[in-house]
Amino acid sequence: MNFIFVMITVPTLLLDEEKCRRNIRMMAEKARNSDVVFRPHFKTHVSHEIGNWFMEEGVEKITVSSLRMAQYFASGGWKDILVAFPVNILEIELINILAADIDLSVLVESPETVRFLVENLNSRIGLYIKIDSGLRRTGIPFNNPDAVREILNEAGKSGLISLRGFLTHAGHSYKATCPEEISRIHYESISGMAELKYRFMNEFPGLIISTGDTPTCSVMDDFSMTDEIRPGNFVFYDLMQTTIGSCTPDMVAVAMACPVVAVHPERNELVIYGGAVHFSKESITDASGRTIYGAVLEDNGPGWGATVQHAVLSKLSQEHGIVGAPSEFIDRFKPGDIIKIMPVHSCLTAHAMGGYLTLTGRTITMMA
């Protein structure tokens, strides 16, 4: 029995530090090779220690999804933080506190919000404008330059606002199922952004284009049409990303380790301690049309191996999970064993778990 096995008695999120550092290095190199700014999204890991692995690769600018997260990373020594979430004006106090301390950038998509900032800021901030390049979640449609101009003009009324550029999240790439589709989405998204940049470059020089969801950044090698990339999920990857084609299964750097609490050979199922409060209820549809919440992994000492064919996390209650698998696989288990599972969406699973256990048995904490 090996060291890490002895420690696991409840659902635990394992982190393979080596794979994780390799993912970070790969993306940092890609950004360097394309000569674009690498401003990774830290909402996936939300951990000082993992943040430091990025610092070691030369990263100085980061992205987060809430002011609270910005505060956490500012306390960890990060000095240039973009909150890539439409400004919540109710948090103006925290914006001013943070902006007094670090180089804080925020994201806007309406002139009203900019007017509010102009009137209420008392520290300098950077401003990105949220552009909808096709996802239709939020942002100004890229083909509406008048709305963009209105924001640029409003922002110009404050000496405390530095215009940074146009930001988009081509999150519809998450619906892609092959690299060709990702590539098509990327070029459509980026050409709309480029059009905007060139339209305003004389009046507002120096505005950049900031892009970069994980599927696009993983599949593409050439980022020359953009100025800054902000992928986040790639630090761990997950089952969804392997399905999209962003990564191979062996690049996924996290796995859940869950105690088996019951074995039901008569229906080819295991009951595990590990439910919605551990995995999150994020699901994908597998090749046979079933909704699944994770893929079972071969055990491999402290780590894990390949995914097991036809073995999936098929149901989730609050604390229970049901694993469905071929009988020869089910037969290997008894209550008290540990089973390892690749989560569907590592960002949400990490958030739910609140910390990591490395394969050498070290605990890594997250923002509380």
Interface residues with a copy of itself (CB under 8 A)?
8-10, 43, 65-66, 68, 85-91, 109-110, 112-113, 116, 136-138, 171, 259, 261-264, 267, 271, 273, 276-277, 280-283, 315, 317-320, 322, 334-336, 347-348, 351-352
Q: Which is nearer to a copy of itself, 197 or 281 (CB)?
A: 281
Q: Which is nearer to a copy of itself, 126 or 139 (CB)?
A: 139
Q: Which is nearer to a copy of itself, 215 or 225 (CB)?
A: 215
Closest CA to 135 of 196, 198, 185, 60: 185
Query: Which CA distances in Å does 109 have to 9, 122, 213?
Result: 47, 21, 19
Q: State the CB neighbour count (10 A cutoff) for residue 327.
A: 10
Q: Which is nearer to a copy of itself, 78 or 293 (CB)?
A: 293
Q: From CA 38, how far away is CA 29, in angstroms rounded?
A: 9
Q: State the CB neighbour count (10 A cutoff) for residue 30.
A: 20
| CA geometry: angle 288, 290, 293, nearest 5 deg | 125
Min dist. Cβ of residue 283 to a copy of itself (A): 8
Min dist. Cβ of residue 56 to a copy of itself (A): 26
Q: Which is nearer to a copy of itself, 334 or 362 (CB)?
A: 334
Min dist. Cβ of residue 316 to a copy of itself (A): 10
Dump the DSSP string for 19-77: HHHHHHHHHHHHHHHHT-EE--BTTTT--HHHHHHHHHTT--EEEESSHHHHHHHHHTT
Q: From CA 94, how far away is CA 99, in angstroms rounded?
A: 8
Min dist. Cβ of residue 243 to a copy of itself (A): 17
